[in-house]
Amino acid sequence: MTSKRDLADTPFQAPEHLLAIAPYVPGKPMTALERELGISDAVKLASNENPLGPSPAAVAAIEDHLGNLHRYPDGACHDLTQKLADKHQLAPEEVVLGNGSDEIIGLLAQTLLGPGDEAIIPSPSFLMYEIAVRSMGASPRFVPLKGLAIDLDQLAAAVGERTRMIFVCNPNNPTGTAISVSAMQAFLDQLPADVVVVVDEAYIEFASDPNCFNCLRDGRGDPRLVALRTFSKAYGLAGLRVGFGVMAMALNDLLHRIRPPFNVNSLAQVAAAAALADDVFLNRSVELVHTGLRQLRADLDNLGLAHHPTQANFFLIDVDRPADLLFQQLLQHGVIVRSMRAYGFDSSIRINVGLPEENARFISALKAVLAEA
């Protein structure tokens, strides 16, 4: 990160609240590792992507649209918005599309926060919440997880005069825990009327527990709730960058005022619309994750490593040694995972479920590394 000293020679004063931000460090790209090791078959299980690739229907839609790239996208994302509204029985005026749900997180912070305001964030959770909050000069108030689960009672207890929003990641990244419908209702009952609760459901399609709260199904009619969804995970379109938020029309109207006019590119719009209709691909993606989780759990049990239940397409493994070291050692075997040290779990890694052969590569690399030790 650029330090204050690095900026001393520049003609402008670096804002203090921006210097407090640690830049987001994404999972290591496969191409980078392949370049470094001179290999062409790296396996990446570090960014919770869909190992099946994109939906074939999305690829076909992109091919059909290539001849229109000289035109600006539809700034209103009319067709995609309508299709989302139809699928989830929403008014189009409740939906806002973004360049990934990351962008919606930023737009919500821009809309709701100013200097002196507070946003409550469970910790650890998705790191972009803190960045979005700090970028507005507002203060994050962190509430530690209880075990691996979001502590809703402590989130409610942390609400103060200046609290404007609360982030709830469900299932939580990086721990994979989920919140039940009744727990969420009890939480909402404790909150004031003017605090916005952002429920980030990036992984909701993978949740197999029927009691898991689903904002678009169970959160109807509560104007404090914002649901965030993405096409990056179960829908396999991470590289295109499409996500959306669903919220009360009055809040939605404010986000539309400040979002860039063409924030979702035209290929992303047609691909997401096609992927939305491709239930066969979605179901295959979810099934692949559930089958892979069962196999990986059995393999880890055989290795005697502790791992945690999950409602997402990823889970934590306690590797009983420094996670950063194991991350580096697995890289040497061409396998990219995520060390959880930055999230406060010094001896844990997070992996997402890959294709069966990728999961097997991970397990055999892990065995080799543990044997070397």
Ligand X SMILES: Cc1ncc(COP(=O)(O)O)c(C=O)c1O
Among 123, 214, 232, 266, binds ligand X (CB under 6 A): 232
Please state the closest distance from residue 90 (CB atom) to ligand X, in A: 18
Per DSSP, 119 falls in state E
101 binds ligand X (CB under 6 A): yes
173 binds ligand X (CB under 6 A): yes
Helix (H, G, I), strand (E, B) or coil at 83: helix
- Scanning 96-104, 207-215, 245-253, 330-338 for contacts with ligand X by CB under 6 A, the matching segment is 96-104
Considering all CA atoms of the chain, what is the largest pairwise distance in Å, rounded to the nearest integer? 60
- Scanning 100-108, 204-212, 248-256, 284-292 for contacts with ligand X by CB under 6 A, the matching segment is 100-108
Question: Among candidates 228, 196, 21, which has minimal Cα distance to 120?
Answer: 196
181: exposed, middle or buried (C-beta count within 10 Å: 0-12, 13-18, 19+)?
middle
Q: Which is nearer to ligand X, 333 or 338 (CB)?
A: 338
Per DSSP, 10 falls in state S
Please state the closest distance from residue 57 (CB atom) to ligand X, in A: 19
Query: Are 100 and 243 spatial neighbours (Cβ–Cβ below 8 Å)?
Result: yes
Query: Are 214 and 182 spatial neighbours (Cβ–Cβ below 8 Å)?
Result: no
Its sign, for the CA torsion 145, 146, 152, 155, is negative
Please state the closest distance from residue 238 (CB atom) to ligand X, in A: 6
281 binds ligand X (CB under 6 A): no
- Scanning 68-76, 78-86, 97-105, 209-217 for contacts with ligand X by CB under 6 A, the matching segment is 97-105
Among 118, 200, 205, 358, binds ligand X (CB under 6 A): 200
In the range 302-341, which residues lie near ligand X by CB under 6 A? none
Q: Which is nearer to ligand X, 124 or 299 (CB)?
A: 124
The 225-230 sheet, strands edge to edge: 95-98, 243-246, 225-230, 196-200, 163-169, 118-123, 139-144
Instruction: For residue 62, give both structure tokens.
Output: 């992109």
Among 94, 102, 205, 358, binds ligand X (CB under 6 A): 102
Please state the closest distance from residue 138 (CB atom) to ligand X, in A: 19
Query: Rounded distance, CA 66 to CA 81, Å?
Result: 21
- Scanning 12-20, 112-120, 230-238, 285-293 for contacts with ligand X by CB under 6 A, the matching segment is 230-238
Among 145, 238, 248, 331, binds ligand X (CB under 6 A): 238
Query: Rounded distance, CA 334 to CA 323, Å?
Result: 16
Binding mask 14-53 for ligand X (x = CB under 6 A): ----------------------------------x-----
State the DSSP string of 151-189: -HHHHHHT--TTEEEEEEESSPTTT----BHHHHHHHHH
Please state the closest distance from residue 337 (CB atom) to ligand X, in A: 15
Among 126, 167, 206, 345, binds ligand X (CB under 6 A): 126
Cis peptide bond prior to 260, omega within 30° of 0: no
Give the residue at shortest CB distance from ligand X.
100
Please state the closest distance from residue 100 (CB atom) to ligand X, in A: 3
Query: Are 330 and 369 spatial neighbours (Cβ–Cβ below 8 Å)?
Result: yes
Q: Which is nearer to ligand X, 252 or 329 (CB)?
A: 252
Query: Rounded distance, CA 246 to CA 261, Å?
Result: 18
202 binds ligand X (CB under 6 A): yes
- Which parts of this chain interact with ligand X (CB under 6 A)? 48, 100-102, 126, 169, 173, 200, 202, 230, 232, 238, 243
